[in-house]
Amino acid sequence: MADPTTKPYLIRAIYDWCVDQGYTPYLTVVVDAATLVPMEFVRDGRITLNISSSAAPGLLLDNVWVKFSARFSGVARRIEIPVSAIEGIYARENGEGLGFQVAEASEPPQDEPEPPAPQKPRFHVVK
């Protein structure tokens, strides 16, 4: 069994530090198929999100997911981000925080070519 990652613990630590200092915590996320964010705000495959308590009510920071509700252009949206997709967390006011390496999203599987159609059986007279 692989050792658990420290990433979710470090994310929570920087989040707590931001809150304690009165700073605004921001997440930078690499968007992939498992990430539920408003796609119209994604630029170059990434999105930056304010996760302060006023901007992200119901914030859940667990070991696998970051989940919350947020308003975009006045419309409430559900946000679900796998911890593995988080590229960084930092304070908006001074840029201090942590960055993480994110594995690039894998390419969708290519369509396999169709197998050749089975040939029609032929009968031969055997003498």
Q: Is the pLDDT of residue 43 over 80?
A: yes
CA neighbor of 90 nearest in space, from 100, 82, 80: 100
Any residues with CB less than 8 A from the CB of 68 and at least 6 apart, and which?
51, 56, 57, 58, 59, 60, 79
Q: Is the pLDDT of residue 42 over 60?
A: yes
Q: Is the pLDDT of residue 108 over 50?
A: no
- 111 pLDDT tier (thresholds 50, 70, 90): very low
The reply to whether the predicted model has a pTM over 0.85 is: no
Q: Is the pLDDT of residue 69 over 80?
A: yes
CATH number of 7-99: 2.30.30.220
Residues 70-80 have a mean pLDDT of 92
